Amino acid sequence: MSGHHHHDHDHDNHFTAIEARVKALETLMVQKGYVDPAALDAIIDTYETRIGPRDGARIVARAWTDPAFAERLKADGTAAVGELGYGGRGGEHIVACFNTPEQHNLIVCTLCSCYPWPVLGLPPVWYKSPPYRAKAVLDPRGTIADFGVTLPESQRVRVWDSTAETRFIVIPMRPAGTEGWSEEKLASIVTRDSMIGTGLPKVEDAA
């Protein structure tokens, strides 16, 4: 039996340091009775898989393929997102920021880490970090470059600061060469980062 335990520990070492910490915290919270493991799993599943960037990607793909929906999304993001069944806590007031050849949009929350959970799921760790929150405002173009995206000089960068009341989603520009694609295939190239503004859709990711 002791060999079996040892084997378990070997497996634990495959976790990254962060994953190991999260696992340890989860275990502690469950042991202390603060958290029902089934409830925890349900919450994580909801935000990682059922909600999560996939819902945002569907909104972007719809905006790319349905000009009338895109107009409604520009006029009233909350209502348009609601048409697709998304909204609720953290998405009471959603504003869609459309990228254009003249303007690239970047989302930050300088005060804490307000984020459009219902459409993008859990915020990435870096989104909540003070360095990102400071640099996004002071040097947005440099921040985007840190993520490997070089924008043309002619494209200005506009920073949108989320608040508890208003959350933003970036609608990236539809990449060339995607004409005739289904909405589902288009959604597969919309990355979470492209809806925050630190990335662009990845055509090579096409399903």
Tokens of 150: 């070089």
- What are residue 156's phi and psi, to 5 degrees? -80, 160
How many helices and strands (H and E) does the chain possess?
11, 4
Give yes or no for a contact between 119 and 58, defined as CB atoms under 8 angstroms apart. Answer: no
What is the Cα–Cα distance from 57 to 186, expressed in whole angstroms? 8
**Catalytic residue IDs:** 109, 112-114
Give yes or no for a contact between 166 and 95, defined as CB atoms under 8 angstroms apart. Answer: yes
10 Å CB burial of residue 194 (0-12, 13-18, 19+) is: buried
**Which residue carries 């003070």 as its tokens?**
130
